[in-house]
Amino acid sequence: MERSTQFTLLICSSFVLAAVAQNGSRNLTALFHVGVILDLSTLVGKMGMTSISMAVEDFYAMHRNYTSRLVLHTKDSRSDVIQAASAAQDLIENYEVEAIVGPQKSSQAIFVAELGDKSHVPIISFSATSPTFSSLTPYFIRTTLNDSSQVSSISSIIKAYGWREVVLIYEDTEYGRGIIPYLIDSLQGVETRVPYRSVIPISATDDQIMIELYKLMTMRTRVFILHMTPIIGSRLFLKAKEAGMMSEGFVWILSTGLTNIIDSLDPSVTDTMQGALGVKLYVPKTRKFNDFATRWKRRFLQDHPSDEPSELSIYALSAYDTIWAVAMAVQKVGMGMLGASMNGPKLLEAILMSKFEGLSGDFYIIDGQVQYSTFQIINVVGKGGRGIGFWTPEHGITRQLNNSITKGYSTSMTDLNTVIWPGDYNSVPKGWEIPVSGKKLRIGVPVTQGVPMLMNVETDPVTHLTIASGYCIDVFESAITKLPYAIPYEYVPFQTTQGKLAGSYNDLVYQVYLQKFDAVVGDVTIRYNRSLYVDFTLPFTESGVSMIVPVTDGKNMNAWIFLQPLTLELWLGSLAFFIFTGFVIWIMEHRINTDFRGPFSHQLGTIFYFSFSTLVFSHREKIESNLSKLVVIVWVFVVLVLTSSYTASLTSMLTVQQLQPTVTNVHELLKNGDYVGYPRNSFVEILLKQLNFEASKMRAYDDSVDEYFMALSRGSKNGGVSAVVHEIPYIKFFLAKHCTGFTMVGPIYKTAGFGFVFPKGSPLVPDVSRAILNLTDGDSIIQIEKKWFGDQKTCLNQGSIIISAPNSLSFCSFWGLFLITGVVSISSLFMFFIMFLYKNWHELRTIDTDKSVWQRFRSWARYYNKKDMKSYTFRIGKPDNNTSPSTSIMNGDSNVKASTGDNSPNMIIHSCDLYTTYSPPVEESSSPELSRTSTEDRLVNVVVSH
C-alpha cells in the first residue's frame, strides 16, 4: 500500500486549481473525484494516460460554464492484479472517488469490478476486453468492444481463403483464454478444425517459446491465429522469424491485441511480422480525428520524451471518449453533496445513458458495452498495417465501406485486396504442409499380379526403385496434377520379402492408420469397416460386386419349347373352355341353324371344329342366335388375348434363350451346392459368407484373369467353379479378354467403387476428391480407360444381363378373362332355356303328361332336338308360318304337324322368283340373305325349275 501511494500522482488536481485560479470569484460547486488505474509502464497505459489528461483539459476548455469538475487520482497497477485491486480499494476508501477509469487488464478487471460493485462505484475500462462473464457486474462498463466481437471477422478470413485447419496461439492469461471458446465456436461454424492450441505462459522464456514453435513446425497445419498482448507477442514473432516460420507457406492472423497498436510497435518487431494478416477496430479518419492525432502525438512525446514516438491507437481514442462520457455524466448528475455511495447509482445511470459523437465513432452504451461493429482487415507490410478490406456483421467481407451496398453476407477472397504473404509470397498459401519429417508423401501400393491394367507394381532391378503403373496410378497422377499445389511423393510397395502382397487389402489400408504410409493408391474398394480408420476420396470407378458365369448358346433348344409359354393348367383350362364354348353355341344354335344339325358325329365334329377354328378366327359356320353371337364375340376376344400372349411369351423365350447364362443368381448356386470362386485377400470372401456360402464351397484364386478362366472352364464338377464373384471393374476386364462364352450376372452387391486412401482428417482428401470429379466429369477418365483397356465396346455381352427366368403364363394370369367368358356363356345359356321354355311351354306341357319325370324329360329333349320352324332362319324362303313339304321330307319327323296342303306350287315359284331365280348359284352368292338358303330350299328350287 505504501509503495503504491508513492506512485500516486495527483497531477490532475492541478487542473482544478488552475480552473479556480482562472476565476477566483466564481464558486466551484462540485468537485468529482475520479480514480484512474493503469499499468503506466506499458504502451497502452502510457497512451491512455496521455489521452485522459488531454480529455479533461479539452472538455473543460470547451464547457467553461460547467459547474462540476473532475479531480483525477491516478494509480499505477504495475501489471499486477493485486496491485490493481489494492489501488482500487485505496481510491475508494481514502480518496472517496466516485468513479474509476480502468483497470487496463482483463484479469485486474475481475477484482476491481467486484470492489466497484460492492461500494457502488462505476468502473469504466477502455481496454479490458476479455469476454468472460466473470467481469460483468452492473457497475462495470466497457468502453471498448469485448474480444468475442472479432471472432466472426477472423473466421470470415479463414473461410475466404478456404483453410480448413488452424492452430491457435494465445497467452495464458485471462485476456488470452477469454476469446478461445468463442473463437473455436466461430471456426466450427466455417468448418475449420483446430487440431492444436498452443498456450504460451506470460513467463515463458525465449527457449520455451522456441521449443513450442518447433513443435508447431512438425505439424502439418500452417495457419496460426495469434491472440496476445504486444509484450509477449513481439517476443514470439522474433522467435518465429528465427525459426523460419515467417516464410513461404505460413499464415499468421493477428487479433486486435496486436493490431490495435501495430503502428506504434518497435520497427524491429513489425519487421518480423511482415506478411501477417489481422483484424482491427476501424475508426474513420475524419478531420477531427486527424487534428486530434497531431495534438496527441505531440503531447505523448512531451509526456514520454525518452520513448519512441507513438501513433494514435484505438486505446487512446477510447480513453479520451471515456473521460468525456464521465465528465458529461458528472455534470448531469450535478451536485456532489451526497457522497460516493449515494451518487454511484445516479452516476452509473448517467454514464450508461451517454450518447455523443466521440473520436472513435458514435459513443453509446448497450449492455454495459460500447457498440462499434466495423473491423478493418490489415496486412502487415512495411512499418504498419495496410488495409485490405473490411468486415461488418451485415455484409461480411467487403473491399470498401459503403453504406449503400445491398449485397448480403459474403466471405469471398475476391473482396479482399491482394495480400503479400510471409516470405514475400504472392499466391495464397494452402494452409498445410507435409510435415517436415516426411518430406515426400509415402504412398503404399499393393503388389498384385491380377489385372496389370488396373494396378501393376514392379521394382526396377537396377535402381531398386518402385515403378507403379496401371489405370489406378494414372488416375491418381492425373488427379495430383490437377491440385493447385505440388505434392512430392514416392511409391512404397506393400510386399513381403518374396515380393508377394503382405497381407490383405484391409491390412494395406490399416498401414495408413498406423502411419506407415501417408496414403494408399490402388484398386482399394471403399468399405465401411475401412472408413473407420482412414478417409477415402470419392470413387473413381464403377461400383458393385457381380458374378462371371459361362453362357450356353441356345442350340440345344427344346423341341417342345412351343408348349412352354403356357403352363399345363392353362393349357387344360383353355381346352376346357374351348369345348365348353363350342357346346354352348351348339345348344343355342341347334334348333335354328342347319349348320349345327345332322348326324351325331357330324354335330360333334362341328362343335369341336367351330370352337377350335376361333383360335385362328377361321370359323365359317354362320351363327343365327343373338345370344350365341354375344358368346362368340366375347370368346373371340378371350382367344385374341390368349394367342397374343402366347406369341409374346414364345418370342421372348426364343430370343432370351440365345445367350443363356448357366447360373442366373446366387441362390441358384447355393441351392445346387456349386463351387464359387473369389479373389484371394479380398472382402468378397466375407461377402460370400454373409450370403451363407460354406467355406468348403468357396475357392480362392490369385487375382488373375487366366486363373478365373481355367476355373470357370473346368466347371464345378471338375474341380473348378460355376461362377466367380468379383467386383465389376475386374469382371469387365475379364470379359474384355474372354468376350465369348462368359457373361456378367448381377450385381449381387453394391459397393462404393475404388477410392484413394488418406489418413483421417487429411486436408488432401477434399482436394483430391475434387480433382477426381474434375477427371470423371470431363473426358480425361475416358482417355485413361482407352489407354489401358482399349475400346471395350467391341464386346457385346459386357453389360450385365438382367435375367428374367422365362415365365410361363399360368391360369392365374388369365382367370379374369375366363371368368368373363364363362359368365357370359352361362347366362346366355340360361336365357336361352328360359326363352325356349317360354315359347314352347304350351306344347311341352302337353307332351307325355302321363309318363314318369325321366321319360318326360327325354321327350322334352327330343322336342328340343327338332328344328324350330318358327325361327326366322327357317321362315326365309317359306311363305307364311307353314313348313314346306320338302322340309318335312328332310326332317322326316312324324311329330311335327306339317300342314302341307296349304302350300301351292305357285307360291313357291313366286318365292323362288323373289329370292332365287334371278341370282347366281347359291354357293357363290355374296348376299347374306341368299347364302342362308339351305339345301332344302335349293332342292325346292330345282324341283320348281324343272
Contact positions vs ligand NAG (CB under 6 A): 22-23, 25-27, 65-66, 131, 133, 136, 145-146, 148-149, 367, 369, 774, 777-778
| Closest to ligand NAG by CB, 148 or 546 | 148
Taking the complex as a whole, the smallest distance from the CB of residue 370 to ligand NAG amounts, in Å, to 9
Q: Is the distance from CB of 793 to CB of 476 less than 8 angstroms? A: no
Taking the complex as a whole, the smallest distance from the CB of residue 326 to ligand NAG amounts, in Å, to 16
- For residue 103, say if its preceding peptide bond is cis, omega within 30 degrees of 0: yes
| Closest to ligand NAG by CB, 149 or 574 | 149
Taking the complex as a whole, the smallest distance from the CB of residue 26 to ligand NAG amounts, in Å, to 4
| Closest to ligand NAG by CB, 133 or 838 | 133
Grid coordinates in use for 158?
479463414
Phi, psi (degrees; rounded to nearest 5) at 129: -105, -5
| Closest to ligand NAG by CB, 125 or 762 | 125
| Closest to ligand NAG by CB, 281 or 627 | 281
Taking the complex as a whole, the smallest distance from the CB of residue 34 to ligand NAG amounts, in Å, to 19
| Closest to ligand NAG by CB, 479 or 735 | 479
Q: Is the distance from CB of 702 to CB of 680 less than 8 angstroms? A: yes
Taking the complex as a whole, the smallest distance from the CB of residue 754 to ligand NAG amounts, in Å, to 20
Taking the complex as a whole, the smallest distance from the CB of residue 21 to ligand NAG amounts, in Å, to 10
Taking the complex as a whole, the smallest distance from the CB of residue 373 to ligand NAG amounts, in Å, to 8
Distance CA 490, CA 933 (A): 103
| Closest to ligand NAG by CB, 368 or 677 | 368
Distance CA 138, CA 133 (A): 11
Query: E strands within 646-690?
Result: 659-661, 676-679
Q: Is the distance from CB of 864 to CB of 835 less than 8 angstroms? A: no
Taking the complex as a whole, the smallest distance from the CB of residue 706 to ligand NAG amounts, in Å, to 37
Q: Is the distance from CB of 44 to CB of 77 less than 8 angstroms? A: no
Identify the burial level of 875 via C-beta atoms within 10 angstroms of its C-beta, where 0-12 means exposed, 13-18 middle and 19 or more buried.
middle
Q: Give the strand pairing for 251-254 and 466-469.
A: unpaired
| Closest to ligand NAG by CB, 114 or 868 | 114
Taking the complex as a whole, the smallest distance from the CB of residue 692 to ligand NAG amounts, in Å, to 44
| Closest to ligand NAG by CB, 204 or 281 | 281
Identify the burial level of 477 via C-beta atoms within 10 angstroms of its C-beta, where 0-12 means exposed, 13-18 middle and 19 or more buried.
middle
Distance CA 495, CA 146 (A): 58
Q: Is 25 helix (H, G, I), strand (E, B) or coil?
A: coil
Q: Which of 281, 349, 353 is nearest to 317 (CA)?
A: 281
Instruction: Find residue 698's DSSP bridge partners.
Output: 676
Identify residue 207 by its one-letter amino acid code.
D
Cα–Cα distance list, 294 to 263, 290, 299 (Å) = 15, 6, 9
| Closest to ligand NAG by CB, 27 or 404 | 27
| Closest to ligand NAG by CB, 148 or 716 | 148
- For residue 230, say if its preceding peptide bond is cis, omega within 30 degrees of 0: no
| Closest to ligand NAG by CB, 26 or 689 | 26
Q: Per-residue b/e over 538-567, b at no fewer than 16 CB within 10 Å?
A: bbbbebbbbbbbbbeeeeeeeeeeeebbbb
Backbone region of residue 544 per phi and psi (left: phi > 0; alpha: psi in -120 to 50; beta: other values) = left
Identify residue 332 by its one-letter amino acid code.
K
Taking the complex as a whole, the smallest distance from the CB of residue 128 to ligand NAG amounts, in Å, to 10
H or E stretch at 41: none
Taking the complex as a whole, the smallest distance from the CB of residue 775 to ligand NAG amounts, in Å, to 8
Under 8 Å CB-to-CB from 266, ≥6 apart: which residues?
234, 308
Q: Which residue has the cell 468378397?
A: 684
Count CB neighbours of 306 within 10 A.
4
Grid coordinates in use for 205?
522464456
Cα–Cα distance list, 638 to 563, 586, 635, 644, 815 (Å) = 19, 19, 5, 10, 11
| Closest to ligand NAG by CB, 22 or 865 | 22
Cα–Cα distance list, 9 to 51, 99, 210, 593, 696 (Å) = 16, 17, 40, 140, 97
Identify the burial level of 525 via C-beta atoms within 10 angstroms of its C-beta, where 0-12 means exposed, 13-18 middle and 19 or more buried.
buried
| Closest to ligand NAG by CB, 151 or 238 | 151
Identify residue 274 by its one-letter amino acid code.
Q
Taking the complex as a whole, the smallest distance from the CB of residue 365 to ligand NAG amounts, in Å, to 11
Taking the complex as a whole, the smallest distance from the CB of residue 498 to ligand NAG amounts, in Å, to 42
Taking the complex as a whole, the smallest distance from the CB of residue 354 to ligand NAG amounts, in Å, to 16
Taking the complex as a whole, the smallest distance from the CB of residue 256 to ligand NAG amounts, in Å, to 12
Distance CA 12, CA 71 (A): 6
| Closest to ligand NAG by CB, 109 or 519 | 109
Taking the complex as a whole, the smallest distance from the CB of residue 130 to ligand NAG amounts, in Å, to 8
Q: Is the distance from CB of 248 to CB of 420 less than 8 angstroms? A: no
Cα–chain center distance at 537? 15
| Closest to ligand NAG by CB, 133 or 918 | 133
Q: Is the distance from CB of 470 to CB of 703 less than 8 angstroms? A: no
In 535-656, alpha helices (H) = 568-590, 600-613, 626-656
Q: Is the distance from CB of 680 to CB of 725 less than 8 angstroms? A: no
Taking the complex as a whole, the smallest distance from the CB of residue 156 to ligand NAG amounts, in Å, to 15
For the beta sheet containing 396-398, the strands, ordered from the edge strand earlier in sequence to the opposite edge, are 193-200, 165-171, 223-227, 251-254, 277-281, 375-381, 384-392, 396-398
Taking the complex as a whole, the smallest distance from the CB of residue 68 to ligand NAG amounts, in Å, to 9
| Closest to ligand NAG by CB, 128 or 169 | 128
| Closest to ligand NAG by CB, 27 or 692 | 27
